[in-house]
Structure 1
Amino acid sequence: MNLPTIFNTALRFSKGKTIKNRLLMAPMTTCSGFYDGSVPQELVEYYGKRAQGLGAVIVECCFIEPLGPAFPGALGIDSDKKIPGLARIATAIKQHGALAILQIYHGGRMVEPELIGGKTPVAPSAIAAAREGAAIPRALSSQEVEALITKFGDAVNRAIKAGFDGVEIHGANTYLIQQFFSPHSNRRDDYWGGDREKRSRFPLAVLDITHQMVDRAEASNFIIGYRFSPEEMEKPGITFEDSLYLLDKLAERGLDYIHFSLGHWSRSSIIDLDDQIPLITRYRQAITTTKFLANVPVIGVGGIVNRSDIDQAFDAGYDLLAVGKACIVYPDWYQRMNAGEELRLEMASTQRQVLCIPEPLWHFSLVDAMIRDVQSAGKKFKAGIYHEKVEAEALKLNIDVQLDTDRITDIRLQPDSCLDVDFTQTFEQLRTRMLVANSPYVDAIAGATTQSEALKKAVSRALSTSSKNWVLESGKDLASIEQYDVIVIGSGGAGLAAAINAHDLGAKVVIVERMPTLGGNTIKASVGMNAAETRYQEEKGIHDSKVCFYEETLKGGKYKNDPALLQQFVEKAPDAITWLAQQGITLSDITITGGMSIDRTHRPADRSAVGAFLISGLVKNLNQRHIEVLLDTKAEQIEYHQGKVTGLRVVDEYGESRILQTKAIIVATGGFSANTKMVEHYRPELAGFVTTNHKGATGSGITLLQALGAATVDMAEIQIHPTVEQHSAYLISESIRGGGAILVSQAGDRFCNEMETRDKVSAKIIGLPEHSAWIVFDEQVRSQNKAADEYLAKGFVIQGEGINDLALQIAMDPAALTRTLTTFNQAVRQQHDPQFGRTTALRHPLEQGPFYAIKIAPGVHHTMGGVAITTRAQVLDTQHEPLNGIWAAGEVVGGIHGANRIGGNAVADIIIFGLLAGEQAATWVKTA
């Protein structure tokens, strides 16, 4: 199909409704609804502005009942009160000649309890989703299933009353309808579950009631579409053949279209990675043998930005295309395509209001990643005074923004007799904040958000104008922005520390991060950062030594640690604590972890988990320095020629490849705990273990460096952490045991020294008959560990007012648990544990109710192995020679921790060697 045909040829649906062209706006979550799911005016404007020229707009999914919202700010169609607001959206779309289609859904087990007032989510079966922290849902009764089908019908009726031209039944994205069809989430043995035919009954029933509502309303040309996810990663899960089976049954009962749910229109199988045939190709081949699917139009989605994307997607076999992020960035996308423009998914940070993007959507990670401009302090300005208008509701004022070559020097209101006192106060507060920050990107004034945003926008316009003037006058080549002194791959603690240090030593730095957010696995760190001979220890009267720290780490690593790396690690640890404090990241409270004999684990003063605190502080420093970050960008290949680094080939989320030019690369991509195949390759006995790591911990950096001939060490040394909540794979911090908690078997007995190294404690738990244990603690431990409150909020903790009460709730013999606590409390009082020889963290008797317990078992936590480096963090090849211009830091590196990592040493490792890598890379580029 050629481009003029795409833009001009209509398509007639089976019910008779005609779409004027083949291009639609995809349904995308905006998170912008009111607390009850009703529609704000800014959302009406958002959709209306984007409807121009398109054949249709599919409005984001609306939940059909109060237990159904799967994300904050979701829209609802769960009551007649929602009809007027939704009608305003439909009218805004249709007045531009586009069809208005509404997506309807129920989140099922994907609903977070906090979104529904702390209630338990519902699902076909009481099986939690295969994702971190997922709640175990409540299985729906047969009567509730029937009631939900009726509620879907009510939602269709409301969509008709609101003036929509159709509905799209959301049977994708692992929401409730898909959950009923999935063998992973549907384990029922009644009418609604069992084999594939029975699991099809719920989606078919939803389609049937949709037709009934359409017939009742005599809306004969009302469009009915169905969105589906072709496959599931879970085992057992939906296969492509399963999807074809269901779609054919749905088509038999009447569908106007089906809508692939894909990250990219050309995506191939996520189950069979060796099969690179696009799913749309497989679909077109397969439907020739189906009875009813061949004549149902197919919508493709994902990665549609420019004309070339449109051409390729239609050539692949789609009948219509749904456009996602391009419609957010370019409300007039259709007109731009018609005019032959080539577009990039980028927005300036001053454009939110111009583009009519609701603020919650603006801060959504996928949208935020498209905001590419650099904040003011990182830019050069043409000095002068810039006049701008401030317009917000009835407020219309003029301001003067005075700029020097590198900063905002003043912001003044021009005289106006209409100024009211309230706005004058708002202005002065904002003016002060902006001048201090040298940026318009400051917090709004409470109670004056609209006026604040208008003023911030006006100042941003002045900065943008001035910056462009400077570029034009200086004759700078804009292409030079792709040239860097240092490229850091990975944005965990090691990567951020390296980037900040390299920047501070004069290097132009960019961070390349394959994930959509910053923080890496560091953000999940809980206990703290180990260091000896620090000023915080001295202030607390803790007598420690680097020699002791070295010996205990060496012993904990079973004497396999690289002695030179370990010595560097121990020597630099207190300096790293000091460097963090200089960046406003103070770790002044101190606790202890297993394998240590002295309190040397530094953590925030409020005793919260160290990871989020550390990343938050490092990101603030990153922003202050305006260091560029490329999210959703994969480092594919290091360009290395004649012994020198020349660049890094990267691939962005849209599959576009380019080379960033550089002389130095720092690899800080983390370990491989989340790469099941890699873990099992080196340690087959760990098959089936959950991992505490985030999904980006796949060993990609190790593979990247091995391609250049990098050596690896200790790859089989993989640590399992003893205390992992198994349903969520959430790590229960060692600080709980370090605060005085004990481990108890299901029989009610202690079975080990809880403060032994992780490998030894894990082995003891695995050796129990049930292969799991309970962490038991009291109110004193809880009150001294902020992490415990997080575990309570996540539902991991069972609480009892007394020991007997707790024991009964965890199916334990009350007498046995009482006896165990009595014996342990006596050991604490005597500071002597004759049972298991525990000598540390005997802080106080466990006797202050309420009492708490968390069920745990071991999980894959840390990979001690990785690439070989020098003591200055330079990567070594297999001949033990340095690879010029390449450094590595963090869990991607091997040799530091030996055969077992001590809790608290990883955070020290990432900061110490991150700083070293940044320093060495910045120094290298000055002489290379």
Structure 2
Amino acid sequence: MNKLSSPLFNPLTLPNGNVLKNRLVMAPMTTCCGFYDGTVTDNLIDYYRERAGSIGTVIVECTYVDTLGPAFPGAIGIHNDDCIEGLSLLATAIKERGSKAVIQIYHGGRMVEPQLIGGQTPVCPSAIAIPRPNATVPVAMTAGEVEDMIEKFGEAVRRAIAAGFDGIEIHGANTYLIQQFFSPHANQRQDKWGGSRENRARFPLAILEISRQIAKKYASDEFIIGYRFSPEELEVPGITFDDSLFLLDKLAQIGLDYIHFSMAATLRPSIIDSNDETPLIDKYIQLRSAVLAKIPVIGVGNVVNKTDAETAMAHGYDLIAAGRACVAYPNWAERIQKHNDLQLSMNSDQRTNLNIPEPLWRFPLIHSMVREINTKKFHAGTYQQTVSDDFDNQFVINVELGQDFIKDLSLVNAEKLDHVSIRNFNEIKERILAANSPYVDAISGATSQCDAFKKAVTKAISTSYKVATIVEGGDADDKSCDVVVVGSGGAGLAAAIEAHDKGTSVIIIEKMPVIGGNTNKASAGMNAAETRFQQQAGITDHKEWFYNETLKGGKNKNNPQLLHYFVEHAPAAIDWLDEKGIRLNNLTTTGGMSVDRTHRPDNGAAVGGFLISGLLKNINDRGIEVMLETSVTDIEMKDGRINAVIVRDEEGNEQRISTKAIIIATGGFGANAQMVTHYRPDLADFVTTNHKGATGSGIALLQKIGAGTVDMNEIQIHPTVEQNTAYLISESIRGGGAILISQKGKRFVNELDTRDKVSNSIIALSEHYAYILFDEQICAENKAAETYISKGLAVKAGSLTELAEKLNINLDSLITTVERYNHFVKQQHDEDFGRTTGMRHQLNQPFFYAIRIAPGIHHTMGGVTINTKTEVLDTHAEIIKGAYAAGEVAGGIHGGNRIGGNAIADIIIFGIQAGDQAAAYAKNH
């Protein structure tokens, strides 16, 4: 093939005279593969070396210029001279293969998470948090710090030159610090660095100016300086396309060698004006100034094949960057000369051969490209679905499916919808396409709409499966599999993964429109004793302690056999999760436990969402079918064994699924008021923390085939529930050092006693409520606290005096209580209530927070009877063949009171066991 037959392979001379051998660029994609100190690793060098050569230019991922700048773990730095040696090896590896080596420089600004910078608060032009859930309010930079930051960017350029790079790309996109200075949302300063558009442009212009000065001093005239920008912002007020043109023109006047659009698709239209479908590159070509027209433009986003790149060039781009395509095809530039049918997919055994570092392989955007062998296939085509949200908004959505991937989504009736709905659709569309699955996290504040969008995809996939069955000569109304899992909380997902990995076919049935069940609401963590994470943290623990404390907490009513199995297999369950990419290595404690054995995510986040997201990735990887909004109406028996289940979807259509085994993992009945009051009339007026699907349906199903039950009147109330929203305030907050105070400003209980005792103590107060009190240090160490604050559940005060005033509490009583508690913390001895755990810090770090709480229905300890193999037992304690149960649907494990952190342990330990046992049974029958 003639090399010049496509414009992609023509050389390009930059304004500074440097010649690029072709128009193809490797986009700067984060790998998270740096050392803890930001220096370069060997696998990072190998990764870039493998992708250099046929491609004209490699832009290395962004490097932070300051210790407060890394926006993600494993970032690489250019913040001190110690970084130069490794960066030099990286530049050499790229250039020796014949590609230009350019490196991005940036600072994350308010996008930086405190845990990435040693708990410090991130910086920003103004003290305004990014408008996202749980975002930290940054510290506004002083004028002197702004000047210092410009110098740090200059020093970064010097280091890039010393390391041998051919150029730098100034990262003024992705809402990082440089963009924050130009943003009217992030920058509301009143000095020369903020206010007018001209003033907001000063910082990026200063960065370019110092970069050129350093290059002139230390580099040749051909040193490349590019600028990456995001053309618009969704924030209000935010950067408009007109603003971007203004800034780019100013930059061009100083001197640039290229500009780089930062968008998800090369031909993306405006994200602000949804009625204008003109690609922004077309508007840019039309509106750019004469000086700007001399600067080459890089386009990026959804470029896989040669036709994608050529189409982008035809619209006016001079250079075309590819990200994921370069990951999947290290010799991408060479391949597209010969092929035009590349797919963004990689087999699960290709990571080593493709030289993809482990952290990058786990990125959702990259991991979604990984294909397991023998994944169930779709019937390719476009399936139109009409869905509605809770507000009666109707969405007509075309779902385009390839043979084994979700190809595209489009809103047919977009012109009838408001801007917010379209924005939400576009965001959830990106998540679904990236994950190649409808089972993705919803957008905060738009759960109902997201559920509708996801529902359209699940319905389309279900329809495609039926079409595929018919095409293959099968009966679409008669399905079969080895194991049916009913319920998609933690127990159900763990069971499905384990059953699949033991070689059986699995279908998950979920009556709700979303996956996760009550597990989504879990916040504390997962209890386990004698784990490797405890050993690494120097924590001494024993399974015997765990057993005795759980038995004591359960009022000695726990089933001893189940409890022994639970305690013995907890460490292995922690490791099982870790093997699945779900690491719970941050340790805290909960009420009733004597040591830190509650395992949670490293950043202290609530365990539930983290767990479900991780399990869903594993479900997606395995191609396990999930039938949402589908209820099991009957279990069919034959010859004393499970034979099939009858299911009904939301539209009333019934279907029979033949199966050898069922695993019921439908949770408890905490949201079924009638069932709760049947067993416990005294709980009639209590709010519930349970999701609305926790109705005991699985218990009823199993009772119909003869299952026995145990401990049905053992219903736990959780002591710390915000009553207006029924939002549970995690026990990890008290485990992190918080106290409970009455309206009189006094402590009244050991905050980390068992839940029943703490609940009863609150009920005994004359006001029947209390406050959970914590400070900024506890907030920083427990990410769940940020959620409560962002939801407006907490009263915030700069001092105890202010807090007392806001709560109408006697100031002297409150100060005396806190000072006395702080004294107990200092001496590690609670003279008043005998508290021995969670006394980590004195409460003395403003801000102070208080959340008004009272008990609410939380967990139903009773359920169907099972043995240690999770086999369901009938009323005569005989095994019902082929029936298994795991999680809150089963009784006997927790006795008369569940310890905080034991529920997650329960669902994972017995979920794994149920999947293992059901698979073995199915194989033998």
TM normalised by structure 1 equals: 0.54
Within-5 A mapping of 1:14-93: 14-93=15-94
Q: 1:331 and 2:325 equivalent? A: no
Which letter maps to 2:304?
A: V
Which letter maps to 1:289?
A: L
1:5 to partner: Cα distance: 1.5
1:516 to partner: Cα distance: 15
Aligned to 2:504: 507
Aligned to 1:851: 842
Change (3 A) 1:12 1:261: same
SS at match of 1:630: helix
Aligned to 1:398: none
Which letter maps to 2:190?
A: D
SS at match of 1:178: helix
SS at match of 1:227: strand
Aligned to 1:281: 279
1:199 to partner: Cα distance: 1.8
Aligned to 2:490: 493
Q: 1:608 and 2:598 equivalent? A: yes
Aligned to 1:298: 297
SS at match of 2:321: strand
SS at match of 1:150: helix
Which letter maps to 2:286?
A: T
Is the CA contact 1:741–1:775 (under 8 Å) kept in the aligned structure 2? yes
SS at match of 2:774: strand
1:103 to partner: Cα distance: 0.9
Change (3 A) 1:808 1:228: same
1:634 to partner: Cα distance: 12
Change (3 A) 1:911 1:772: same
Change (3 A) 1:824 1:523: closer
Change (3 A) 1:65 1:747: farther
Aligned to 1:251: 252
Is the CA contact 1:171–1:177 (under 8 Å) kept in the aligned structure 2? yes
- 1:441-497 CA deviation, whole Å, 9 max, x = no partner? xxxxxxxxxxxxxxxxxxxxxxxxxxxxxxxxxxxxxxxxx9976698998614423
Within-5 A mapping of 1:109-188: 109-113=110-114, 115-116=116-117, 119-130=120-131, 135-188=136-189
Change (3 A) 1:721 1:305: farther
Unaligned regions of 5+ residues in structure 2, if any?
A: 375-478, 529-543, 575-588, 634-643, 648-656, 668-688, 695-717, 789-797, 823-831, 866-883, 889-897
Is the CA contact 1:639–1:645 (under 8 Å) kept in the aligned structure 2? no
Is the CA contact 2:525–2:606 (under 8 Å) kept in the aligned structure 1? no
Which letter maps to 1:90?
A: A
SS at match of 2:63: strand
Which letter maps to 1:816?
A: S
Which segment is superposed worse, 150-159 or 816-825?
A: 816-825
Task: Provide the C-alpha distance between the structure 2 equivalents of 1:153 and 1:740, rounded to a whole number of angstroms.
Answer: 44
Which letter maps to 2:620?
A: L
- Percent identical pairs in the alignment equals 46
Task: Provide the C-alpha distance between the structure 2 equivalents of 1:233 and 1:315, rounded to a whole number of angstroms.
Answer: 28
Aligned to 2:699: none
- 1:204-225 CA deviation, whole Å, 9 max, x = no partner? 2112222333444574343322
Within-5 A mapping of 1:395-794: 493-500=490-497, 502-503=499-500, 507-509=504-506, 521=520, 524-526=523-525, 539=548, 606-609=596-599, 629-630=619-620, 733-734=730-731, 737=734, 742-744=739-741, 774-775=773-774, 790-791=781-782
Which letter maps to 2:224?
A: I
- 1:75-98 CA deviation, whole Å, 9 max, x = no partner? 333345544543333333233332
Is the CA contact 1:510–1:630 (under 8 Å) kept in the aligned structure 2? no
SS at match of 1:255: coil
Task: Provide the C-alpha distance between the structure 1 equivalents of 2:626 and 2:269, rounded to a whole number of angstroms.
Answer: 19
Task: Provide the C-alpha distance between the structure 2 equivalents of 1:614 and 1:133, rounded to a whole number of angstroms.
Answer: 11
RMSD: 7.1
Is the CA contact 1:365–1:516 (under 8 Å) kept in the aligned structure 2? no
Which letter maps to 1:288?
A: Q
Aligned to 1:310: 309
1:184 to partner: Cα distance: 3.5
Which letter maps to 1:49?
A: E
Q: 1:95 and 2:96 equivalent? A: yes
Task: Provide the C-alpha distance between the structure 2 equivalents of 1:6 and 1:862, rounded to a whole number of angstroms.
Answer: 69
SS at match of 2:110: helix
Which letter maps to 1:169?
A: I
1:309 to partner: Cα distance: 4.0
Q: Which of these residues, 812, 817, 831, is aligned with residue 814 of structure 2?
A: 817
Task: Provide the C-alpha distance between the structure 2 equivalents of 1:134 and 1:69, rounded to a whole number of angstroms.
Answer: 16
1:181 to partner: Cα distance: 2.0
Aligned to 2:13: 12
1:259 to partner: Cα distance: 1.9
SS at match of 1:852: coil
Task: Provide the C-alpha distance between the structure 2 equivalents of 1:303 and 1:814, rounded to a whole number of angstroms.
Answer: 60
- 1:560-602 CA deviation, whole Å, 9 max, x = no partner? xxxxxxxxxxx99996995686575689xxxxxxxxxxx9988
Task: Provide the C-alpha distance between the structure 2 equivalents of 1:7 and 1:616, rounded to a whole number of angstroms.
Answer: 48
Which letter maps to 2:176?
A: Y
Is the CA contact 2:123–2:138 (under 8 Å) kept in the aligned structure 1? yes
Task: Provide the C-alpha distance between the structure 2 equivalents of 1:510 and 1:141, rounded to a whole number of angstroms.
Answer: 58
1:24 to partner: Cα distance: 0.9
Task: Provide the C-alpha distance between the structure 2 equivalents of 1:767 and 1:3, rounded to a whole number of angstroms.
Answer: 81
Change (3 A) 1:821 1:510: same
1:25 to partner: Cα distance: 0.8
Within-5 A mapping of 1:168-247: 168-217=169-218, 219-247=220-248
- 1:507-545 CA deviation, whole Å, 9 max, x = no partner? 32489999999998477444879xxxxx99995596899
TM normalised by structure 2 equals: 0.54
Is the CA contact 1:496–1:618 (under 8 Å) kept in the aligned structure 2? no
1:314 to partner: Cα distance: 4.4
Task: Provide the C-alpha distance between the structure 2 equivalents of 1:52 and 1:255, rounded to a whole number of angstroms.
Answer: 25
1:53 to partner: Cα distance: 0.9
Change (3 A) 1:206 1:750: same
Task: Provide the C-alpha distance between the structure 2 equivalents of 1:626 and 1:738, rounded to a whole number of angstroms.
Answer: 28
1:862 to partner: Cα distance: 15
Task: Provide the C-alpha distance between the structure 2 equivalents of 1:541 and 1:824, rounded to a whole number of angstroms.
Answer: 27
SS at match of 2:298: strand
Change (3 A) 1:132 1:814: same
- 1:880-921 CA deviation, whole Å, 9 max, x = no partner? xxxxxxx99999xxxxxxxxx998797599679979997999
Is the CA contact 2:665–2:886 (under 8 Å) kept in the aligned structure 1? yes
Task: Provide the C-alpha distance between the structure 2 equivalents of 1:257 and 1:489, rounded to a whole number of angstroms.
Answer: 55
Which segment is superposed worse, 172-181 or 291-300?
A: 291-300
Which letter maps to 1:62?
A: T
Which letter maps to 1:339?
A: K
Task: Provide the C-alpha distance between the structure 2 equivalents of 1:69 and 1:622, rounded to a whole number of angstroms.
Answer: 24
Change (3 A) 1:919 1:154: closer
Task: Provide the C-alpha distance between the structure 2 equivalents of 1:646 and 1:311, rounded to a whole number of angstroms.
Answer: 52
1:170 to partner: Cα distance: 0.5
Task: Provide the C-alpha distance between the structure 2 equivalents of 1:861 and 1:750, rounded to a whole number of angstroms.
Answer: 15
Which letter maps to 2:195?
A: G
Unaligned regions of 5+ residues in structure 1, if any?
A: 376-481, 530-534, 550-570, 588-598, 648-660, 671-691, 702-718, 725-729, 798-804, 826-840, 873-886, 892-900
1:630 to partner: Cα distance: 2.3
Is the CA contact 1:723–1:859 (under 8 Å) kept in the aligned structure 2? yes
Give aligned pairs, total: 672
Is the CA contact 1:233–1:271 (under 8 Å) kept in the aligned structure 2? yes
